[in-house]
Structure 1
Amino acid sequence: MVAPPDNDVLWARALHFTYNDGSPALSGVSLGVQEGEVLAVVGPRGSGKTTLLRCLSGLAAVGRGEVWFNSVPVHTMNPMARERLRRDRFGWIDPAPSLLPELNVWENAALPLMLRGTSRRRAKAAALEWLERLDVGEVARKRPHQLVQTDRQRVCIARALAPSPTVLFADEPTAPLHRADRVQVLRTLTTAARSHGITVVLATHDPDAAPLADRTVALLDGRRVNTVHLPPVSESEGRAACSLSA
């Protein structure tokens, strides 16, 4: 087992992952992500993007291969250690906005910080700062059911950024958004992450997203390829994508 390069905050070698039905999801994927980098993982649906993010973040245990975070082997961690790593160092954005209905907007955004033991006052201040950055500060006291889909997703992005994670994993974060909102939200996300030195691993099949990244990795059928041509995302596909995983 060889340790990864010192300048890679995330490093994976020869990752293999197989679904329960025996079909392969990843077949020998290797990559490195440098500190503060915004990396876009692109490819059509079913190419293995979500599975790769789940393996890199410790949400899924790899079948074969290695995953390292800051020179620590994630692939050898037990489930409890991986859960602590995700809580303390990683952020995650799902394709579909998921908020606790019993909490208002700022409480949802502050929840990860409070779960870490941050005081309510400090957690609220950080949550409100990110809600303002994402243009949803004015709805901070509303409940999730009072928001439109686009604003709910912005709140989820604020929630992921508020704890200042070392690495933010964004799985099709603009899937539920209208085309007019996608680039704006992604630009806000990537700009905010860069300003705070947050590394971003972004999975997307949206061709408008890749130009906002520092670098692009293409997947096809669970393998890295040199390039992949992504068709334009229609409005109906964008809204439907929130119910599908890559």
Structure 2
Amino acid sequence: MVAPPEPESEIDDVLWARSLHCSFGGFPALTGVSLGVREGDILAVYGPRGSGKSTLLRCLSGQLVPQSGEVWFDGHPVHTLGAAQRERLRADSFGWVGPEPSLVPELSGWENAALPLLLRGTSHRAARAAATEWLERLDVADCARRRPAELSQDRRQRIAVARALASGPTVLFADEPTAALHAGDRAHVLRTLTTAARSHHITVVLATVDDEAVPLADQAVRLADGRRGDSPTTPEAEGQEACSLSV
């Protein structure tokens, strides 16, 4: 088994990455990005669209394998796992919220929120109870019996947040979760997400273009052109090949 290096800055980090490089079609998406986040903290990754935020979250969550670099979760390597192991890790330990709710149209609000638990084999009663609790916390309990087509975009997105939180993840990845919302709805969803995560000591990695989200975080990392904003330009990403997608 590969043992993780233990610089002092990484000892307390539940999730960290070192020198991530990732390219698509010969164009670098990440160039030497390193970061870490402590358990229960909220990390905001911010910068303009196209700066590598989504690629970074997908590498950290095991959806993508970086061409080079390391990703560690809870003292164990993620970058060396096979596709099936990474899928299991995501199901057991990670939650995900994307820019769109991606709800199942045939299912009600509570069924959508409970879906990861039901797929995991949780009893119907326990899954429904957990889903209902998070719908209440996110102010969409009145949507429990309604289907997505009947709901506004911000309510659908809050159900998606409830779905990500109901399974009790150690880390919640939120990739521009308010991108499709109006300003007022963006603030509401961000605050309910971060408040809910803090109440249950869930680590959050939030990718955002919204400067208003940064003050909600314990720490922030700015990306620009696939590099940390405070990092010097290097030629290391030249000629990088595409990352590997998990299947």
- Same fold (TM > 0.5): yes
Partner of 1:157: 161
Matches within 5 A, 1:38-187: 38-187=42-191
Superposed displacement of residue 78, structure 1? 0.3
Select which of 190, 199, 205 maps to 1:201: 205
CA contact 1:95–1:172 (8 Å) conserved in 2? yes
Amino acid corresponding to residue 41 of structure 1 in structure 2: V
Residues 3 and 71 in structure 1, CA contact (< 8 A), matched pair in contact too: no
Q: Distance in 1 between matches of 2:41 and 2:230?
A: 20
**What is the aligned counterpart of 1:3 among 2, 5, 8?**
5
* Aligned residue pair count: 226
For residue 33 of structure 1, what is the aligned residue in structure 2? 37
Per-residue CA deviations over 1:11-46 (Å, capped at 9, x if unaligned) read 100000011x11000000000110001000000000
For 2:107 and 2:155, the matched residues in 1 are separated by: 15
Dislocated runs of 4+, deviation >4 Å? none
Shift of 1:226: 3.1
Instruction: Tell me the distance in 1 between the aligned counterparts of 2:139 and 2:27.
Output: 42
Match of 1:216 in 2: 220
Distance in 2, Cα, partners of 1:9 & 1:91: 15
CA deviation profile, 1:82-102 (whole Å, cap 9, x unmatched) = 000000000000101111111
Q: CA RMSD in A?
A: 1.1
Mapping of 1:12-27 within 5 angstroms?
12-19=17-24, 21-27=25-31
TM-score normalised according to structure 1 size: 0.90
| TM-score normalised according to structure 2 size | 0.89
**Partner of residue 241, structure 2:** none
Runs of 5+ in structure 2 lacking a partner?
232-247
Amino-acid identity (%): 66
Q: What CA distance in whole angstroms lies between the structure 2 residues aligned with 1:115 and 1:174?
A: 26
- Which ranges in structure 1 are unaligned for 5 or more consecutive residues? 228-246
Give the aligned partner of residue 244 of structure 2: none
